[in-house]
């Protein structure tokens, strides 16, 4: 009995540590939402799941330490639904970030992003006017574009150097005009529109570009696509960690169920691992 309680206590302690990993992933997404991705509701399901696992594991740990069968039963019951919720979150995260990626550009190290390459629930959220107004304001406040500037020995980087930079999806989609517009480079966020081929281009984002540092390409479809791709990368990173945590949680849960059944078997004086005679006295062998 004592060994089983120690095992359940250890498993709950490990589960508590895993909940901290999930909670940390949610907090990381929250920091990304405030500073980079700017979509602020996606992290909350993960934070809630992590906090729930933390509370339930503490209840299971207390139940194991004090031999409280009700707390141990409550731990296993609640953990089943939490694991199911985590499975649902992982499936949802992969489903809504399934499509879309950046396209390579000739003689450039950065990628271009097109809204038509993305689809589904997450795209509908991002392109919604109310949501996008908040995202656009967040992007301006984060100063992600103003931090793009580079200089070497006091000289701003050239167009060739800029072309060799690996820009983030938001930097590529929101802070510069699409390459198809053919605008002439002045610096990272300032382009000569008159020297471009906007009249010949088919990209609807070309007339949306503005050299106003508060506007830039924040109204462009490429900016929305860049936000979607940034969200995709963030969610995929967290989902990989969550899948590892989920596998460990399932293993701990199965072991915990077996240990809990063992406790109940001992509490009920059921035989476990030892032979018991059915007669008080064995019959004598007749010769």
Report the first-to-last Cα separation within the chain, whole angstroms: 45
Can you state the angle between helices 221-267 and 44-65, rounded to 10 degrees?
10
pLDDT of residue 272 exceeding 50, the answer is: no
Same domain, 94 and 115: no
Report if residue 250 sits inside a domain.
Answer: yes
The pTM score is 0.78
Residues 127-145, mean pLDDT to the nearest whole number: 89
Same domain, 162 and 256: no
Same domain, 258 and 142: no
Range of the domain at 201: 103-227
Same domain, 79 and 185: no
Report if residue 120 sits inside a domain.
Answer: yes
Report if residue 271 sits inside a domain.
Answer: no
In whole angstroms, give the CA distance from residue 106 to residue 25.
36
For residue 191, what pLDDT band results from cuts at 50, 70 and 90? very high
For the chain, the domain total comes to 2
225 near 117, Cβ under 8 Å? yes
Q: How many other C-beta atoms are found inside a 10 Å radius of the C-beta of residue 242? A: 24
Report if residue 286 sits inside a domain.
Answer: no
171 near 147, Cβ under 8 Å? no
Among residues 32, 26, 25, the alpha carbon closest in space to that of 144 is found at 32
Residues 161-168, mean pLDDT to the nearest whole number: 92
For residue 115, what pLDDT band results from cuts at 50, 70 and 90? very high
Same domain, 92 and 109: no
Instruction: Calculate the average pLDDT of the chain.
Output: 81
How many angstroms separate the Cα of 120 from the Cα of each of 94, 123, 124, 159, 228? 12, 6, 6, 36, 11
Same domain, 77 and 151: no
Reading the block at residue 63, the tokens are 């139940």
Report if residue 69 sits inside a domain.
Answer: yes
Residues 29-33, mean pLDDT to the nearest whole number: 72
Provide the pairing of β-strand 190-192 with 103-104.
unpaired
78 near 56, Cβ under 8 Å? yes
Final residue of a structural domain among 198, 227, 256: 227
Final residue of a structural domain among 227, 247, 273: 227
Same domain, 110 and 221: yes
Same domain, 56 and 86: yes
Report if residue 281 sits inside a domain.
Answer: no
Report if residue 241 sits inside a domain.
Answer: yes
Same domain, 168 and 185: yes
For residue 265, what pLDDT band results from cuts at 50, 70 and 90? low
Same domain, 70 and 109: no
Same domain, 6 and 23: yes
Report if residue 280 sits inside a domain.
Answer: no
Query: Is the Cα dihedral 186, 162, 220, 140 positive or negative?
Result: negative
pLDDT of residue 174 exceeding 90, the answer is: yes
pLDDT of residue 37 exceeding 80, the answer is: no
Residues 251-256, mean pLDDT to the nearest whole number: 82
128 near 134, Cβ under 8 Å? no
Final residue of a structural domain among 182, 203, 227: 227
Reading the block at residue 209, the tokens are 């570009």
Same domain, 181 and 244: no
Q: Which of 109-113, 202-206, 278-282 shows the lowest per-residue confidence on average (mean pLDDT)?
A: 278-282
Residues 21-47, mean pLDDT to the nearest whole number: 75
How many angstroms separate the Cα of 199 from the Cα of each of 7, 125, 193? 72, 31, 11
């Amino acid at each position: 009995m004592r060994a089983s309680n120690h095992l359940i206590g250890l498993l709950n302690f490990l589960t508590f540590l895993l909940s901290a990993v999930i909670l940390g992933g949610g907090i990381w997404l929250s920091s990304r939402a405030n500073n980079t991705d700017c979509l602020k509701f996606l992290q909350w399901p993960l934070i809630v799941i992590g906090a729930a696992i933390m509370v339930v594991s503490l209840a299971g740990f207390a139940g194991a330490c004090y031999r409280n069968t009700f707390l141990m039963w409550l731990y296993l019951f609640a953990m089943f639904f939490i694991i199911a919720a985590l499975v649902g979150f992982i499936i949802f995260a992969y489903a809504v970030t399934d499509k879309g990626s950046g396209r390579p550009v000739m003689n450039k190290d950065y990628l271009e992003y097109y809204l038509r390459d993305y689809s589904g629930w997450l795209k509908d959220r991002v392109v919604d006017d109310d949501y996008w107004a908040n995202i656009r304001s967040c992007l301006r406040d984060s100063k992600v574009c103003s931090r793009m500037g580079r200089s070497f020995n006091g000289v701003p980087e050239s167009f060739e150097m800029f072309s060799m930079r690996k820009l983030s999806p938001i930097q590529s989609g929101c802070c510069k005009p699409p390459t198809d517009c053919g605008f002439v480079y002045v610096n990272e966020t300032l382009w000569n529109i008159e020297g471009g081929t906007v009249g010949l281009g088919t990209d609807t984002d070309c007339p949306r570009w503005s050299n106003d540092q508060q506007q830039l390409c924040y109204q462009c479809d490429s900016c929305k696509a860049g936000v979607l791709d940034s969200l995709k990368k963030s969610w995929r990173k967290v989902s990989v960690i969550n899948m590892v945590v989920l596998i460990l949680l399932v293993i701990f849960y199965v072991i915990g169920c077996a240990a809990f059944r063992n406790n109940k078997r001992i509490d009920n004086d059921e035989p476990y691992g030892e032979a018991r005679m059915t007669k008080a006295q064995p019959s004598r062998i007749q010769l």
